[in-house]
């Protein structure tokens, strides 16, 4: 069967290398190269970019990123069984794919980053993805080393990432993402698009660093959101009592009778900066 890029179909690659999906590694592979291209295209123009890919697996998304012209892909994969399949992709695109065997959670991406624009693209087990996302949002230096993050999550996690105030999904993750980035939901991916299919629908989210930074100490912001959303049904004068309650809110110019989910990211930052 012909493929978009001239390499063998992914199903054949998986069979030939014995890459039966392992649940413990959150392996749900995407075999449709049109879909992997759609994800890669969501990241924006790739021609002049180095792309960090996390969890390339048998290489479907990797192939899409390379076929769309990324200058270089640096891919971090934990499962050594995938390395021979990825070596075939590297041979097909000489000098453009570097594979690092290791745990993405222990990888210092910033230290690996070459000169020039960097984009990060990943289809990862969602718990690893959430932790990596938080790590990528935390550097003190802002804008960060990356130009965009294009990541697959369980749909419910994606909704929490992009949520704004007055949305049921709005919480600590939404405030953290909104503080540092502009995050948008790109599109949903149904379970049957994966092999094997996961239980729930997934979503691709795309984040770029905020154009107008909101200077704030992240530990303080976390203290405020933890207290506020820890008791999200209560009025802020009650939930923020340990941090200064009504007096703090009055100084911030915020009605103490409001609830956490009605506060904008800017308002959370104002409170954090008064601690
Ligand atoms: N990118 C491929 C695709 O779209 O078909 C594979 C996606 S699969 C959902 C997740 C991949 O992440 C697997 O290849 C798995 O081995 C890898 N992985 C899981 N945990 C990892 C970690 N901590 N660091 C790096 N890779 C990891």
Smallest Cα–Cα separation from 220: which of 272, 274, 271?
272
132 and 187, same domain (yes or no): yes
164 and 28, same domain (yes or no): yes
124 and 165, same domain (yes or no): yes
pTM for this entry: 0.96
- Give the domain extent around 242: 218-274
What CATH number does the domain containing 40 carry? 3.40.50.150
Cα–Cα separations (whole angstroms), residue 117 to 14, 50, 97, 139, 145 = 32, 6, 16, 17, 8
Beta strand pairing call for 72-77 and 202-209: unpaired
State pLDDT tens for residues 57-76.
999 999 999 999 999 999 99
CA-nearest residue for atom 23, ligand 1, is 103
**Could you tell me the sign of the dihedral formed by the alpha carbons of 91, 94, 100, 105, in that order?**
negative
59 among annotated binding-site residues: no
Contact predicate 235/207, CB 8 Å: no
Q: How many CB atoms lie within 10 A of CB 229?
A: 20
Distance CA 177, CA 208 (A): 10
77 among annotated binding-site residues: yes
Over range 233-242, report the average pLDDT.
96
205 and 254, same domain (yes or no): no
Cβ burial, residue 112 (10 Å; 0-12/13-18/19+): middle
Bridge partners of residue 72, in order along the sequence: 50
Domains identified in the chain, total number: 2
Distance CA 179, CA 114 (A): 26
Whether residue 163 lies inside any domain: the answer is: yes
196 and 267, same domain (yes or no): no
Q: Which residue has the tokens 């100084």?
A: 251
State pLDDT tens for residues 132-184.
999 999 987 889 999 999 999 999 999 999 999 999 999 999 999 999 999 99
Pocket of ligand 1 (CB under 6 A): 25-30, 54-57, 60-61, 76-79, 82, 103-105, 123-125, 128
Over range 206-224, report the average pLDDT.
94
């Amino acid at each position: 069967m012909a493929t978009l890029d001239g390499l063998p179909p992914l199903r054949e690659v998986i069979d030939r290398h014995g890459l039966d999906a392992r649940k413990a590694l959150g392996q749900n592979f995407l075999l449709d190269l049109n879909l992997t291209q759609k994800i890669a295209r969501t990241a924006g123009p790739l021609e002049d970019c180095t792309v960090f890919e996390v969890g390339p697996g048998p290489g479907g998304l990797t192939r899409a990123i390379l076929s769309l012209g990324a200058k270089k892909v640096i891919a971090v994969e934990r499962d050594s069984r995938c390395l021979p399949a990825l070596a075939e992709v590297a041979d097909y695109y000489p000098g453009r794919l570097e594979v690092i065997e290791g745990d993405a959670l222990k990888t210092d991406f910033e230290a690996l980053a070459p000169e020039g624009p960097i984009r990060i693209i990943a289809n990862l087990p969602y718990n690893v993805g959430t932790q990596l996302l938080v790590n990528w949002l935390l550097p003190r230096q802002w804008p960060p080393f990356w130009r965009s993050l294009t990541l697959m999550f369980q749909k419910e996690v994606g909704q929490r990432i992009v949520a704004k105030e007055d949305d049921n999904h709005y919480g600590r993750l939404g405030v953290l993402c909104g503080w540092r980035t502009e995050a948008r939901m790109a599109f949903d991916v149904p379970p049957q698009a994966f092999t094997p299919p996961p239980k729930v629908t997934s979503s691709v989210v795309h984040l770029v660093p905020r154009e107008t930074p909101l200077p704030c100490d992240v530990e303080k912001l976390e203290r405020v959101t933890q207290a506020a959303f820890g008791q999200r049904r209560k009025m802020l004068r009650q939930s923020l009592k340990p941090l200064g309650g009504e007096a703090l809110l009055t100084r911030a110019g915020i009605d103490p009778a409001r609830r956490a989910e009605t506060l904008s990211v800017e308002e959370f930052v104002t409170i954090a900066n008064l601690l």
